[in-house]
Amino acid sequence: LAKTTQPISMDSYEGQEVNITCSHNNIATNDYITWYQQFPSQGPRFIIQGYKTKVTNEVASLFIPADRKSSTLSLPRVSLSDTAVYYCLVGAYNTDKLIFGTGTRLQVFP
Amino acid sequence: NAGVTQTPKFQVLKTGQSMTLQCAQDMNHEYMSWYRQDPGMGLRLIHYSVGAGITDQGEVPNGYNVSRSTTEDFPLRLLSAAPSQTSVYFCASKEWRLGSNYGYTFGSGTRLTVV
């Protein structure tokens, strides 16, 4: 299973765009990249998943370069409520084993 | 539609005691799993099930038992609690149809302290 590396923490201000990069040098051909968000005292929440190029939904965008060795989660115009831990996971499309790293703790300031 | 419901939300056990953490989902998801999260860490998979009557071990299964007699319920049993099992436990479920992927739905967790 591919290991992921993310920054431990990031700070931002309300209204800014936040980009969180994840490194996954050993990603396998059939692996997908998935991001989860976790608020304090809550379980993680699925944000977005992609295989290559760009994926966008109502919450975020996911950018994946051609070599797929990294990916970037983009949160447009963050608000205080986006303060959370963000996890990048790599694994099969419908994997039965999520492998979590330590995540990136995003703090949004007024 | 309540999603994934975990009970209790908090529990304190003495070393050596046993207990069952309950998890129920009302989304007719075939897949269910249990994770534990230690302070400052990511979640680690304990056990999982891809359907009623089918269970398998995850990354950290020792000291825990599971069974899956119905689609809705997936209880986690601690056989003889140890301080090392102090953690927050999350139950998750997922739809298992080919081609679908809306991610996992997690419960709100059970915070367990073993003294």
pLDDT by residue (tens digit) across A54-93? Answer: 999 999 999 999 999 999 999 999 999 999 999 999 987 7
Q: Closest Cα partner for B105 from B30, B40, B7?
A: B30
Q: Closest Cα partner for A61 from A69, A79, A46, A49?
A: A49
| Chain A residues with beta carbon closer than 8 angstroms to that of B21 | none
Which pLDDT value is given to residue B1? 67
Contacts of residue B7, defined as CB under 8 A and 6 or more positions apart, other chains included, come to: B21, B22, B110
Cis before B39 (ω within 30): no
Which pLDDT value is given to residue A98? 82
Query: Least CB-CB distance to A98: which of B50, B104, B109?
Result: B104
Given an 8 Å threshold on Cβ–Cβ distance, is B104 in contact with A44? Answer: yes
Least CA distance to A98: which residue of chain B?
B45
The residue among A98 and A16 whose pLDDT is bigger is A16
pLDDT value at B30 more than 60: yes
Which pLDDT value is given to residue A62? 97
Looking at every residue in chain B, the average pLDDT score rounds to 92
Which value, to the nearest 10 degrees, does the dihedral of the CA atoms of residues A41, B47, B60, A32 take? -80
A101 close to B (CB below 8 A): yes
**Coil, strand or helix: which one is A24?**
coil
Confidence of residue A101 (pLDDT cuts 50, 70, 90): confident
Q: Closest Cα partner for B91 from B48, B42, B41?
A: B48
Tell me the C-alpha distance between A104 and A107, whole Å: 10
Q: Rounded to a whole number, what is the distance in Å from the CA of A3 to chain B's nearest CA?
A: 13
Confidence of residue A2 (pLDDT cuts 50, 70, 90): low
Buried/exposed B55-86: b ≥16 CB within 10 Å, e otherwise:
beebebbeebebebeebbbbbbebeebeeebb
The residue among A96 and A28 whose pLDDT is bigger is A28
Which pLDDT value is given to residue B14? 97
Confidence of residue B98 (pLDDT cuts 50, 70, 90): low
Q: Closest Cα partner for A47 from A12, A5, A11, A82?
A: A82
Which pLDDT value is given to residue B40? 81
Query: Least CB-CB distance to A43: which of B44, B48, B92?
Result: B92
